[in-house]
Amino acid sequence: MAVPPAPVCGPSAHLNPAERVVADYILENPETVLYCSISKLSANTGTRDATVIVLCRNGLISGAENQPSRGGNFPD
């Protein structure tokens, strides 16, 4: 079942270039990132883990708070 992409950021969000890369990747690959770890998402986008975490903390993307902090049970 296809998962419709959720809005990653509103029109007023000001993203730096690395954050924009992550946001665009999420919008273009919603099913790929559904079970992706933060590390895998940062590797797929050529960004740092911290960039993905900042997007989560700023409320621009969600779901990372449900991931185990180490190891994870998410397929890569």
Which pLDDT does position 67 carry in this prediction?
46
Mean pLDDT of the region 4-21: 68
Task: Say what angle helices 49-57 and 38-45 make with each other, to 10 degrees.
Answer: 120
Domains of the chain are 17-65 (1.10.10.10)
State the Cα angle at 32 between 28 and 35, rounded to 5°. Answer: 135
pLDDT tens-digit series, residues 27-60: 999 898 888 899 999 999 999 999 999 888 877 6
